[in-house]
Amino acid sequence: MKLGARILKTGIAIVLSLYLAQILHSPSPVFAAIAAIFAIQPTIYRSYLTIIEQVQGNIIGAVFAVIFVLLLGNHFIVIGMAAIMVILLNLKLKLENTIGLSLVTLISIMETPSGNFIQFAGIRFSTIMIGVFSAFIVNLVFMPPKYENKLYNKIAGTTEEIIRWIRLSSRHDYDHQQLKTDIEKLKNNIKAMEQFFSMYKEERSYFKKNLLEKTRKLVIYRQMNVTAKKGLDTLKRLHRFENELLQLPEDFKQAIQEHLDYLIYRHEQLMLRFIGKVPTPDSETENDVEANNKQLFQLFLAHQRESTDDTNMHLYHTMQIVATIIDYSEQVEHLDILITSFHAFHDNEVQIEDTNNDY
């Protein structure tokens, strides 16, 4: 159990909303706290979007509550009918995220006593908006985690795990069941990488110089994600078609192992080069990659000519392995070009802190 930034901000937002509601003498400060829980977000930009949506959703809930009470009363069947209408309108306006808070606004207003109904409705609506704005203030004051750190560390950790398994798989030296379990974990890591990328992309840069640098970083991080996915695809092919690999000629198997060793070494070096831990090499390696890919393809064609498999299933599976490795190598090469270009324009070292992922 760890105390993450968002957990802490949620608690602070609840305290602030209750405190403000008490200062303003709200008769039901608990509704402000409920609204704050709905409105808290991991980034300032998402908080800005949320507050706009929540204002619209609350207005919808409040308006429907007033209309239904004035026309039909506040019987529980009427409340249910009003809730259905609020949900439908929110869906129509593509405000799905505000449905929960809209219903809280609706029910809190419709259950108020009939006497001075409009006054009570205004108080309840204002109380809920206190909670929404309290969450926004907390997101502004308490800065969100540095998602670039989280993004890079997640990519680096996932890439390191993929590389380790590829190295073992190419040598047929691994536990099958453990690899199968870890492949599922790596798939979840890939999804987490995409989430962190989305959050980092939403962080705003207020200076033109920083904006340009961040734009280039976004391109690199996107390519890092793609390259890690291709590495995982390669690992899955090696795992799935291990028997086909074992049946290949020795020179073909050796070429695949050497090519994979070269690829994962370059992938490893690129991750470190991006943060300045490895210098940019002077020699060009693009020709080496192309030569290795051509050699691998020529070996596959030679194996195809010599194959005696009538069903061609063995060749079909071998082709998938070769194609995946070549695709992986092209993504590694593209990542190399992007990182080299980035450091040519930005001499400053990329600062990445080792952080734990929190909620």
- Flag whether pLDDT at 182 surpasses 80: yes
pTM exceeds 0.85 for this model: no
Residues 6+ apart with CB under 8 A from 136: 39, 47, 48, 50, 51
The H-assigned helical ranges of the chain are 5-23, 30-39, 44-72, 76-92, 99-110, 117-141, 147-170, 176-202, 208-240, 242-246, 250-274, 286-306, 313-345
Q: What is the pLDDT of residues 57-98, one digit of tens each?
A: 888 988 898 888 888 887 888 889 999 999 999 898 888 888
Q: What is the pLDDT of residues 201-210, one digit of tens each?
A: 877 655 556 6
- Flag whether pLDDT at 219 surpasses 90: yes
The reported pLDDT for the residue numbered 349 is: 59
pLDDT band at 3 (very low <50, low <70, confident <90, very high): low
Which range is least confidently modeled, 184-188, 242-246, 260-264?
Answer: 242-246
Where along the chain do its domains lie?
Answer: 5-141, 147-345
Q: Which residue has the higher pLDDT, 143 or 73?
A: 73
Round the CA-based radius of gyration of the chain to a whole number and report it: 28
123-127, 230-234, 238-242: range with highest mean pLDDT: 230-234
Q: Which phi-psi region, left, alpha or beta, contains residue 94 (left: φ > 0; alpha: ψ -120 to 50)?
A: left
| Burial per residue of 307-345, b for 16 or more beta-carbon CB atoms within 10 angstroms, e otherwise | eeeeeeebeebbbebbebbbebbebbbebbebbeebbee
- Flag whether pLDDT at 358 surpasses 50: no
* CA distance linking residue 127 with residue 138, whole number of Å: 17
Query: Mean pLDDT across the chain, nearest whole number?
Result: 83
- Flag whether pLDDT at 172 surpasses 50: yes
Does CATH number 3.40.50.300 belong to domain 147-345?
A: no
- Flag whether pLDDT at 283 surpasses 70: no
Q: Which residue has the higher pLDDT, 266 or 141?
A: 266
